[in-house]
């Protein structure tokens, strides 16, 4: 990533599908003094994403795409990203898979947060899998997005101890708290 110079902020788009707690946290992070990013665009694949409320709350442009015709939609998204001069995409609970072509166009500039200690448990139901396998630790990872699902280079990871009392709800709550620290830390790392 380019070095951070002076007051220049990297315009960022956050892609969401759901609650948007990571989005809210990234918006908070984009307002602190040492932040390298500004959040200029929120993209969702559904108008049901609760996180869209943060677009209104923080006065950030939002756009909803249904992602049914992926090629067509991605073309539109690329035009929008260019228009908004976006240089970083943060996936934050975004539950759609982007095409190889799209990822290539934004090569090295798309990052994702995933609720497991990658390369363990790519895909869905990560906490259930960690508990079922009696793992000592769950956790989260921030990684670069490549065309292989949840497989790009890891930027940062955080372990979370799994106790005998944990079910996937209690574990996911504790991991989510760590996600909120890890995502900003990973962004600071890539820009420094």
Binding residue (CB under 6 A) for ligand GAR from 37, 89, 92, 110: 92
Binding mask of the shown chain, residues 123 to 162, with x at each position contacting ligand GAR by CB under 6 A: ----------------------------------------
Q: What residue number has its CB nearest to ligand GAR?
A: 93
- The yes-or-no answer on residue 114 being catalytic is yes
If one asks whether residue 44 binds ligand GAR (CB under 6 A), the answer comes out as no
Specify the residue, 4 or 50, whose C-beta has the smaller distance to ligand GAR.
50
For residues 13 and 74, give the distance between their C-alpha atoms in angstroms, rounded to a whole number.
14
If one asks whether residue 22 binds ligand GAR (CB under 6 A), the answer comes out as yes
Question: Coil, helix or strand for 152?
Answer: coil
Quote the distance between the C-alpha of residue 177 and its chain's center. 14
For residues 83 and 77, give the distance between their C-alpha atoms in angstroms, rounded to a whole number.
10
If one asks whether residue 176 binds ligand GAR (CB under 6 A), the answer comes out as yes
Smallest distance, ligand GAR to C-beta of residue 19, A: 4
Query: Which span sits near ligand GAR by CB under 6 A: 16-24, 29-37, 128-136, 158-166?
Result: 16-24
Apex 98 CA angle, 151 and 145, nearest 5? 30
Smallest distance, ligand GAR to C-beta of residue 43, A: 13
If one asks whether residue 51 binds ligand GAR (CB under 6 A), the answer comes out as yes
Binding residue (CB under 6 A) for ligand GAR from 10, 13, 21, 65: 21
Binding residue (CB under 6 A) for ligand GAR from 10, 13, 20, 86: 20
If one asks whether residue 170 binds ligand GAR (CB under 6 A), the answer comes out as no
Which residues form the catalytic set? Answer: 114
Point out which residues bind ligand GAR (CB under 6 A).
16, 18-22, 51, 92-93, 113-115, 176, 179
């Amino acid at each position: 990533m380019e070095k951070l110079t002076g007051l220049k902020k990297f315009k960022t788009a956050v892609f969401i599908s759901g609650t948007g707690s990571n989005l809210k946290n990234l918006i908070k992070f984009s307002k602190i003094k040492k932040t390298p990013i500004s959040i200029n665009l929120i993209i969702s694949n559904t108008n049901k994403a609760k996180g869209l409320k943060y677009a209104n709350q923080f006065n950030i442009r939002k756009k909803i795409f249904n992602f049914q015709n992926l090629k067509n939609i991605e073309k539109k998204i690329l035009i929008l990203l260019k228009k908004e001069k976006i240089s970083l995409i943060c996936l934050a609970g975004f539950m759609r898979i982007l095409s190889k072509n799209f990822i290539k166009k934004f090569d090295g500039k798309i990052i994702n947060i995933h609720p497991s200690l990658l390369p363990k448990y790519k895909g869905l139901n990560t906490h259930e899998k960690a508990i079922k396998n009696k793992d000592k630790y769950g956790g989260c990872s921030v990684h670069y997005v490549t065309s292989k699902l949840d497989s790009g280079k890891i930027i940062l990871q955080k372990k979370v101890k799994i106790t005998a009392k944990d079910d996937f709800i209690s574990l996911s709550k504790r991991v989510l708290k760590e996600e909120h620290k890890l995502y900003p830390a990973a962004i600071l790392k890539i820009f420094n």
